[in-house]
Structure 1
């Protein structure tokens, strides 16, 4: 695969999808090692501890199913089931190793437990990442902006950068107010305050005609669809923006 094609694939699946691809391939490798272990490996303390819970074939099937799920959902907008399954299986694996240590069956099982539990925690952390690219899969190439509860930009896609004139590095961490004329900013601030109090937005899912502000100071008409959702850090927002008439996203 050429670098250009690889870049296109990575852009399509985003960071979350790339992480699921890695986890999915790892799960399949673990499944293969459990399904066809050498005799000496089958007798190792770790494998013995696993076999005491369920047959190695059952573990292999669980890893294979989880890997396949990750590789399928890496391309989908909804990937929570894959992240949940991978996290649960990794944590379960870690707990089995940890219990075998306390039982005395696997004196060094705590090492494996630490690795598996840390890996499971890492996957759980990735599952909380907002992903503008993931949202863009279903938006037909529109500008997609993700912001936190304070209205600070967390991520946005290349279409947003092209539409507003701010690169991703320049935009992330700045307030959403850089995208709107000064006369509209107080409405935006009041709206954020209401959502923080009520936990929901009356504008969620609606197409709202507004005026956008480019980096060069020029204004242009846009259509905004905004959704509020809850992350581990509180309320977050995803805005899908399309230019109207005078706007230029192409």
Structure 2
């Protein structure tokens, strides 16, 4: 039971959210270590340097606020503020330790500086990962589109017709590119060509945030899940499409 709950939570928050959970808990632990540091620990060079800039309690509040922000935004679609705050605080810590090395206040501060700066760089790198997709389930189920190896639509369910504005009769036989803005079409065609050569789709099974194109020319955000399978006529694709927030069909 607990494993199932954990799996659902991880699927919901994605890699970015899981990283924010780790960073958030670490920030709270650092906040506690600063707020409740015993007198002997406060006299250590690293703590003394921090206290010379601001009371340790102020640093503790900064870490606590950052940790709380990370734990809150790990469940949200927009988490950039949490990543920015965590990166900034880690980099600031690293710079303080590095400067204290050159001033002589903390001769071995370069060790802490290397750790904090590397950690901050790691968080900045994670911030570039694709965000977790939170798709709203449209009324009547998801849009389901089946296409052949050349990207020509073979099957089109009623929800797809409602979402994109093309009837089944109009959509079947047309290329999948009618569902995407022109700027994305070349990459799509290149991907199909690559799969025809390798027989493997790197996108299969993943939830992909994209932009859809309705028949009237309007664009809207979608979440696409692609499955590739091999039939008698070669490779074929099934795409399950859901509009993301702000992209529901009328």
TM-score (norm: length of structure 1): 0.59
- Aligned-pair CA distance for 1:125: 0.4
Distance 1:68 1:219, change over 3 A: closer
Change in CA separation of 1:204 and 1:37 when aligned onto 2, cut-off 3 Å = same
Counterpart for residue 208 of structure 2: 208
Partner of 2:229: 229
When Rg is computed on C-alpha atoms for both structures, the one with the higher figure is: 2
The question of whether the paired residues in 2 share the 8 Å contact of 1:77 and 1:138 is answered with no
- Give the distance between the partners of 1:47 and 1:86, measured in 2 at CA: 20
The alpha-carbon distance between structure 1 residues 232 and 36, as it changes in their structure 2 partners (threshold 3 A), is farther
**Unaligned 5+ runs, structure 2:** none
Residue 38 of structure 1, CA deviation? 1.3
The question of whether the paired residues in 2 share the 8 Å contact of 1:83 and 1:127 is answered with: yes
Q: Which runs of 5+ in 1 are unaligned?
A: none
For residues 11 and 101 of structure 2, the distance between their equivalents in structure 1, rounded to whole angstroms, comes to: 43
Q: In the TM superposition, what is the alpha-carbon distance from 1:81 to its structure 2 partner?
A: 0.3
Query: Using a 3 Å threshold, how does the CA distance of structure 1 residues 57 and 38 change in structure 2: closer, same or farther?
Result: same
- Return the offset for 1:146: 19
**8 Å Cα contact 2:138-2:243 kept in structure 1:** no
Decide which moves more: 146-155 or 24-33: 146-155
1:193-229, Cα deviation, whole Å (9 max, x unpaired) = 9999999999999999999999999999999899999
Q: Deviations over 1:83-134 (max 9, x none)?
A: 0000000000000000100000111000000000000000000000013435
Q: Which is further off, 193-202 or 24-33?
A: 193-202
Distance in 2 (alpha carbons) for counterparts of 1:249 and 1:229: 29
Deviation of 1:241 (Å): 2.3
> Using the alignment, how far apart are the partners of 1:234 and 1:188 within structure 2?
18
Matches within 5 A, 1:153-232: none
